[in-house]
Structure 1
Amino acid sequence: MDFLQLQNKNIVLFGLANRKSLACAIAGVLVENGARVIHVVRSEERARTARRLFPDCPVFCCDVEEEANIIRVRDEIAAMVDGPLAGIVHSIAFANYSEGLKPFHETLKRDFLQAMDISCFSLISIANHFRELLDRDGSVVTISISTTRMAAENYGYMAPVKAALESSLCFLAKSFSAFSRVRFNAVCPSLLKTSASAGIPGYIDSYLFAEKVIPRKQALKTSEAANVAAFLLSPRSSGINGQCLVVDAGMGMNYFDREIVSKTVG
């Protein structure tokens, strides 16, 4: 049974970096379910990686920091694709700690605004410029984090940026409702073992802590977050719009685990 009903559906996926990235895992699930995946990556180096990992998928380059690039890649995809886009995946995040990790109140304006531009505004811009290519019942999925209210010092200013990204979903869903039924949702995973996370100071310790807090004592798998993304892209999730689906294997409900508390205060 084709539960996800993604067979022969065109889906554009922004953000593959390498085989460990969440975008790669999402692409894998989509391809397994018969979707036609179109990759959009930041550089020619990443394009070579995408072509090696997914030799049957078209690959385009686009640095979303320049809006003209989004318009260009839109036109390139429009000229190539057969039929409407059933979905778009926005798996893009960037933080430039140009002077190293600082206390949040010392965040540099230029770094913060660049992160907001690339990690948040790019979703709005992509949605705007690709709107005429999207199927009337299409789905747009972005990637956030399990909570933007946790003041993790080593995550710097990215949590407020992700909070803006999440807030944008309902506004995009509302404005698109004037002419379509396109849905906008986010997958919000807990700590993953990805290439992007490797650059976060102290991430390994946080990851190991997450394994202790999660009731099953095993961190979230990238494939588990990818499966949720595929579901949100599918017609099976037609009743979900403007939502942030937390995928954390129960981590958020178990911070006061007895074993962890006893080791901390014992």
Structure 2
Amino acid sequence: MSDKPPEQLLTGAKVLVCGIANEHSIAYGCAKAFRELGADLAITYLNEKARPHVEPLARQLQAPLLLPLDVSQPGELEAVFEAIDKTWGRLDVVVHSIAWAPKDDLQGGLLHCSAEGFAKAMDVSCHSFIRMARLAAPLMKDGGSLFAMSYYGANKVVPNYNVMGPVKAALEAAARYLAHELGPRGIRVHPISPGPLKTRAASGLKDFDLLLNDAARRAPVGELVDIMDVGFSCAFLATPYARRLTGQTLYIDGGVNIVA
């Protein structure tokens, strides 16, 4: 166990955060939390259209690496890890907060989801995490942590979540299997399941405001969580205080998941 004070537990840790779109993103909350605990950040942005929204945040967080990453484009993921290897020579934490499905397939119900749309959603939202883990593992020379963002709809039916339910279920299963495979190398893997949050990605879901209001009503703590709740929970899991935890889905939702 580390003898460092809590605020210094991640000083010098090298952390890759993927999926920041703006200051409301879950990934931004994670990046901010890791930075507050002393970590050095590598941050990705989707494309040139997204860069003006992400670059000021990366500058604010003093991230030495700001890199383009569209996981659907061949070679971009590999380029990110090559840059990390060249700059740092190692990596301690990866936060995967990437999900996407074609709008028609997302909003049209699972029964009418096209094979192509299902495959795209699975590749971007799930298999990219496996590819990321494959590239990260050799750089995690002293062990590390991998996090993937899921949602309650992976395990229970949430109206209008549609194709993302099966995709997130696959993501959680992939995380468990990766935890098993990478455990002997000191690498821990967690699916993280935040409660509903007002993010750009969530805005694509039909009647999302109703889901938010219902979660706030049902939460035992009486309120919704925010992106910093998610960020600090991930940061905790990356510290020595959580060194014996792996493969478990952590719900950060104010207790909504326990209420029938």
Structure-2 change in CA distance of 1:99 and 1:126 (3 Å): closer
> Are 2:216 and 1:216 equivalent residues in the alignment?
no
Is the partner of 1:20 in helix, strand or coil? coil
Q: Distance in 1 between matches of 2:234 and 2:20?
A: 14
Shift of 1:114: 0.2
Unaligned runs of 5+ in 2: none
Deviations 1:127-168 (A, max 9, x none): 112221123321111111134232223111101100000001
**Within 5 A, what are the aligned runs for 1:2-81?**
2=6, 5-55=9-59, 56-57=62-63, 58-81=65-88
Q: Distance in 1 between matches of 2:75 and 2:106?
A: 30
Q: Which stretch has the larger CA shift, 131-140 or 6-15?
A: 131-140
Paired amino acid for 1:72? A
> Are 2:240 and 1:240 equivalent residues in the alignment?
no
Task: Give the aligned partner of residue 144 of structure 1.
Answer: 150
**Within 5 A, what are the aligned runs for 1:45-194?**
45-55=49-59, 56-57=62-63, 58-81=65-88, 83-98=89-104, 101-177=107-183, 180-194=185-199
Deviations 1:233-262 (A, max 9, x none): 22221111111111121112333xxxxxxx
CA RMSD of aligned residues (A): 1.7
Instruction: State TM-score, norm by structure 1.
Output: 0.89
Q: State the identity as a percent.
A: 26
Task: Give the aligned partner of residue 232 of structure 2.
Answer: 227
Unaligned runs of 5+ in 1: 256-266
Task: Give the aligned partner of residue 204 of structure 1.
Answer: 209
Task: Give the aligned partner of residue 260 of structure 1.
Answer: none
Paired amino acid for 2:11? Q
Q: Distance in 1 between matches of 2:8 and 2:149?
A: 20
Is the partner of 2:157 in helix, strand or coil? coil
Deviations 1:61-96 (A, max 9, x none): 011113422112211221122x42111111111111
Is the partner of 1:241 in helix, strand or coil? coil
Is the partner of 1:139 in helix, strand or coil? strand
Instruction: State TM-score, norm by structure 2.
Output: 0.91
Query: Would you identify which runs of 4 or more consecutive aligned residues in structure 1 move more than 4 Å?
Result: none
Deviations 1:162-213 (A, max 9, x none): 00000011211222245x1111112111111222112211000110111111
Task: Give the aligned partner of residue 258 of structure 1.
Answer: none
Q: Distance in 1 between matches of 2:48 and 2:141?
A: 29
Paired amino acid for 2:221? R
Paired amino acid for 1:30? F
Is the partner of 1:38 in helix, strand or coil? strand
Q: How many residue pairs end up in the alignment?
A: 253
8 Å contact 2:106–2:162 — kept in the other structure?
no
